[in-house]
Amino acid sequence: MKILVISLAGIGDTLIATPLIHELRANFPDATIDVLTKEAGGRDLLESNPHVNRVFYKNLMQCSKLTTLKFLWSLRREGYQLSINTHPQSRTIYRMLAWLAGAQVRLSHEYDHFNWLDRWLVTGTLPQDYTRHSIENNFDFLSLIGAKQKLAAHEMEFFLTPGEEKFAEEFWAKANLADRKVLGLHVGSGGTKNLPLKRWPVKNYAGLVRQLNKERPDIRILLFGGPEEAKDHEIVLAQANRELTREAKTKNLRETAALMKRCGAFLSVDTALMHIAAALKVPNQIVIEAPTLNVTNWPYGNQFTLVKNPIVNGRGLDFYRYDGGDIKGTREELIAAMESVKVADVFAVVTKLI
């Protein structure tokens, strides 16, 4: 049996798909299980996953139509019997890509905006359930293919290599972080649609770091992120005590994860790094409530503390649903919502946990 798992929505969503991949392997031990992702980070996190045969990485949204068709035709020649668009992939284009890849059985959830074209592009659908995590929504596919949950427990899976663990150990020693209280901090978020508007303002991160440096010099702060966070890191570092605060510079997501695993706490909104922190069981995980946070995308399998957002206040589905669209609200309204989470509120949570 040849299976193609399609996870194009983001890095965090690819990590969320790993429990389903493990269940597919448990049910079909001799199957070929390949994964299609559009994010380099998605490829990185699956690189050493023992349940995956191959990872196809292609950002088809940035390719020409001819390049996209050639690539999908190459997948079509693989002769997949089954493709699964994992939850949440609400955009019609993701099902269109599944249709072009040509698996005999093509499965997807039905999303809020589902129409006749979406149903025509796939051969089987399931209703999504906003009261259950995306991981649980993904397990529902098993009933459509004559499979069942065989594993006693489920975790998001990120398999680090000994070399990556050694990199983190050497970084820790060089930065003199051994036996220190280390807070990992991610200032970013997804960059598609209007998702940057769910970020906590960088001025607030800078204010938090200043206050921690002043009042809790026993805490070391590591800033995590890629090139897209570089300018925000400059703003934070310009106001910080550089003896207590530094960037976690890495060459890829795997090295980033290896460093995160050693942190004693981790702070972010709902981002790919939030999910990685949960997968790695980083203690004292702290999540600032953003308009996109709901039960389907909470940190899975890891205890976390939520810093409540007075405006969102548990109403994430009023702001953002899986309908292919943006976060609801004007730019000004969404900025005001994230500004409503005060530095003092986050400081109080961090210092209570650490």
- pTM score of the predicted model: 0.95
Does residue 109 lie in a domain region? yes
DSSP, res 53: S
- 280 & 337 share domain: yes
Select from 145, 172, 187 the last residue of a domain.
145
Which of 106-110's residues contact partners 24+ apart within 8 Å by CB, and which partners? 106/82, 107/82, 107/83, 107/141, 107/144, 107/145, 108/84, 109/85, 109/137
| Owning domain of residue 23 | 2-145
For a pLDDT cut of 70, what percent of the chain falls above it?
99
- 40 & 186 share domain: no
Q: Label residue 150 by pLDDT band (50, 70, 90).
A: very high
- 119 & 229 share domain: no
Under 8 Å between Cβ of 36 and 58:
yes
- Could you tell me which residues come within 8 angstroms of residue 347 by beta carbon, excluding any fewer than 6 positions away? 208, 211, 212
- 138 & 224 share domain: no
Does residue 152 lie in a domain region? no
- 65 & 174 share domain: no
And the tokens for 326?
């943006």
DSSP class per residue in 202-238: HHHHHHHHHHHHHH-TTEEEEEE--GGGHHHHHHHHH
Does residue 154 lie in a domain region? no
Does residue 156 lie in a domain region? no
- Give the pLDDT confidence of 82-124 residue by residue, as tens digits: 999 999 999 999 999 999 999 999 999 999 999 999 999 999 9
3-state secondary structure 246-271: EECCCCCHHHHHHHHCCCCEEEECCC
Does residue 214 lie in a domain region? yes
How many domains would you assign to the chain?
A: 2
And the tokens for 190?
């997804």
pLDDT of residue 314: 96
How far apart are the C-alpha atoms of 87 and 99, rounded to whole Å?
17
3-state secondary structure 130-156: CCCCHHHHHHHHHHHHCCCCCCCCCCC
Q: Label residue 270 by pLDDT band (50, 70, 90).
A: very high
The half-sphere exposure of 332 on its side-chain side, counting CA atoms within 13 A, is 0
Does residue 167 lie in a domain region? yes
- 308 & 345 share domain: yes
- 277 & 316 share domain: yes
Give the CATH number for residue 41. 3.40.50.2000
- 136 & 188 share domain: no
Does residue 60 lie in a domain region? yes
- 208 & 132 share domain: no
How far apart are the C-alpha atoms of 156 and 140, rounded to whole Å?
17
How far apart are the C-alpha atoms of 156 and 298, rounded to whole Å?
12
How far apart are the C-alpha atoms of 349 and 354, rounded to whole Å?
9
pLDDT of residue 275 exceeding 80, the answer is yes
Q: Label residue 71 by pLDDT band (50, 70, 90).
A: confident
The total number of residues shown for the chain amounts to 354
pLDDT of residue 241: 97
Select from 90, 113, 145 the last residue of a domain.
145
- 189 & 315 share domain: yes
Does residue 339 lie in a domain region? yes
Alpha-carbon distances, residue 10 vs 15, 17, 164 (angstroms): 9, 11, 23
Listing from the earlier edge strand, what are the strands of the sheet with 124-127?
54-57, 32-37, 2-6, 82-85, 105-110, 124-127
- 178 & 128 share domain: no
- 201 & 332 share domain: yes
Select from 82, 113, 145 the last residue of a domain.
145
pLDDT of residue 62 exceeding 80, the answer is no
- Give the pLDDT confidence of 214-240 residue by residue, as tens digits: 999 999 999 999 888 999 999 999 999
Pairing of strands 54-57, 32-37: parallel
Under 8 Å between Cβ of 229 and 187:
yes
